[in-house]
Amino acid sequence: MSVARELIPIALFVCITATAIGVPIARAFARRIERDTPRDPIAPPDVTARLERMEQAIDSIALEVERISEGQRFTTRLLAERNDKRGGELPPRAS
């Protein structure tokens, strides 16, 4: 497929012109969109109250998980100490 030699400079000129006109228009459009969007979206009061309740619930769950893990560490330590006193024997199996 051959292209006429006269079309190459014309295509180049069209591309450069489209770029020179298109880039400022695109930047102006992007600035307009950015300007029209609110910077600090304000949540409705009911959503804020719900988020606060969720935060309190998550904090209480985290506290309970910490208590459970502390109990597990304590139990593991007791079992390890008990096993050390026996001399490393395994406890008898319950049948």
Find where tokens 């006429």 sit: 4
Is there a single domain that holds both residue 34 and residue 62?
Answer: no
Find where tokens 């228009």 sit: 25
Domains of the chain: total: 2
Element housing 57 (H / E): helix 45-86
Residues 43, 51 contacting (CB under 8 angstroms): yes
Task: Assess whether pLDDT exceeds 70 at residue 91.
Answer: no
Would you say residue 94 lies in a domain? no
3-state secondary structure of 10: helix
Boundaries of domain holding 48: 42-88
Is there a single domain that holds both residue 35 and residue 50?
Answer: no
What pLDDT, in 10s, does the model give residues 38-62?
777 788 889 999 999 999 999 999 9
What pLDDT, in 10s, does the model give residues 5-21?
888 889 999 999 999 99
Q: Tell me, what's the pLDDT at 95?
A: 61
Of 12, 14, 32, 34, give the one whose Cα is nearest residue 22: 14
Q: Tell me, what's the pLDDT at 88?
A: 59
Is there a single domain that holds both residue 59 and residue 79?
Answer: yes
CB atoms within 10 A of CB 15: 10
Is there a single domain that holds both residue 73 and residue 60?
Answer: yes
Is there a single domain that holds both residue 81 and residue 60?
Answer: yes
Would you say residue 93 lies in a domain? no
Taking the model in full, what pTM does it have?
0.45
